[in-house]
Amino acid sequence: MSKLLFAKLFYTLGVSNFLRKNKRDGITILNLHRVSPEEDYFWNPMKPASFESLLKYLIKHYNIIQFKEIEYTRNGSSKKPLAILSFDDGYKDFYEYALPLLVKYKLPSNHNIVNECAHHNKAIWTQRLNAVFNSAMNDKQSLEFVFEKTKFSIKDFKSWMAFYLSIFKKMLNMADAEREELISQKEHLIKINCKVEMMNWAEIAECASHKVEIGSHTFSHDVISTIKQPEILEKEITSSIKEINERLNQSTDIIAWPNGQTSNSAEAIALQAGIKYSLHVGEKINFSGEQPQNIFYRINLVEEPLSSIILRTELFYSKLKNYVGV
């Protein structure tokens, strides 16, 4: 049975209703990135129509709140389970496609932004890597990486996605300068210049005026777990928060770790900087007392058929993995 038929069957059987019942006082935090009609094979943006369908589903079955409401809505004051819509990166398509829908349905959300992207429209390294792979795959250009004298190319993998994920994981362990040089080299070879539109400070301020809680996604979107120097960690965390607060005249207590990677020293600096919500990635519902009280897990969503998006929201796939090991 195809994956789509499988998802549709389970959705029709009411599995999502059943799974939702187990959530009780738990908070479901959904992690979204781009909402756009554009296509990206390696990280497909959610289509605006899919996003609107997801919102309709959430409105029906959840009480959608902001992080700052957790304290007083948790523990039984809400009849429906709680959910938070948490966006990362600060793509301009949030402003163009997601914000109008959130305003239409009067829904709050959270968006964690990268200072350097808001300053000068910087493209995040993951987006640049996606652009390199999309271009190589579509134009059948040769793409080769060498790590410790071992070569990696599409010939070594079952699919372009497997090739991409393997290189992405290697880059997660690289220091910023080394990763930057490697991506620049490939961009030069393939002759591409990754152009994306990120929100500027004025657009971010406008979001904030429409019930979007603005948090930090660090200063540059470096891989935080690879940073050893305390002064660089301070810049990524404390300076990011300070600038967001000054520019938006607010006091943020939210940080989302890029690619879900962090370290004990980064967490300690964030706590010192007043962070109450340290956002990780993980297929988990947040129950009070199950983890340190400032740590929250988010379920990652990308474009998929609606039945799959909903089953993912209800953690169907991760539960299935636990039961049958698929």
94-102, 255-263, 273-281, 286-294 -> range binding Zn ion (CB under 5 A): 255-263
Q: Which residue from 88, 187, 222, 267 is in contact with Zn ion, where contact means CB under 5 A?
A: 88
Min dist. Cβ of residue 89 to Zn ion (A):
4
What tokens were used for 6? 């499988």
89: contact with Zn ion by CB under 5 A: yes
Question: C-beta of 28: minimal distance to Zn ion in Å?
Answer: 20
- The CB-of-115 to Zn ion minimum distance in angstroms stands at 13
Q: Residue 258 Cβ, how far from Zn ion at the closest point, in Å? A: 5
Per-residue binding letters, 288-317, with Zn ion (x by CB under 5 A): ------------------------------
Closest CA to 157 of 176, 144, 141: 144
Is 88 or 267 the residue whose CB approaches Zn ion more closely? 88
Nearest distance in Å: CB 221, Zn ion: 6
* Region binding Zn ion by CB under 5 A among candidate stretches 1-9, 58-66, 87-95, 140-148: 87-95
Q: By CB under 5 A, how many residues form the interface with Zn ion?
A: 3
Which part of the chain contacts Zn ion (CB under 5 A), choosing from 54-62, 176-184, 241-249, 253-261? 253-261
Q: Specify the residue, 43 or 157, whose C-beta has the smaller distance to Zn ion.
A: 43
23 is written with which tokens? 């959530």
What is the x/- site pattern for Zn ion, positions 205-244, by CB under 5 A?
----------------------------------------
Q: Is 45 a binder of Zn ion (CB under 5 A)?
A: no
* Closer by beta carbon to Zn ion, 189 or else 281: 281
Minimum Å gap between C-beta 33 and Zn ion is 7
Per-residue HEC secondary structure of the chain comes to: CCHHHHHHHHHHCCHHHHHHHCCCCCEEEEEECCECCCCCCCCCCECHHHHHHHHHHHHHHCEECCHHHHHHHCCCCCCCCEEEEEEEECEHHHHHHHHHHHHHCCCCEEEEECHHHHHHCCCCHHHHHHHHHHHHHHCCCCCCEEECCEEECHHHCCCHHHHHHHHHHHHCCCCHHHHHHHHHHHHHHHCCCCCCCECCHHHHHHHHCCCEEEEECCCCCCCHHHCCCHHHHHHHHHHHHHHHHHHHCCCCCEEECHHHCCCHHHHHHHHHCCCCEEEEECCCCECCCCCCCCEEEEEECCCCCHHHHHHHHCCHHHHHHHHHCC
CB nearer Zn ion, residue 88 or residue 93: 88
For residue 28, the cross-strand partners are 83
**Rounded least distance, CB 179 to Zn ion, Å:** 14
258 sits near Zn ion (criterion: CB under 5 A): yes
List interacting residues with Zn ion (CB under 5 A): 88-89, 258
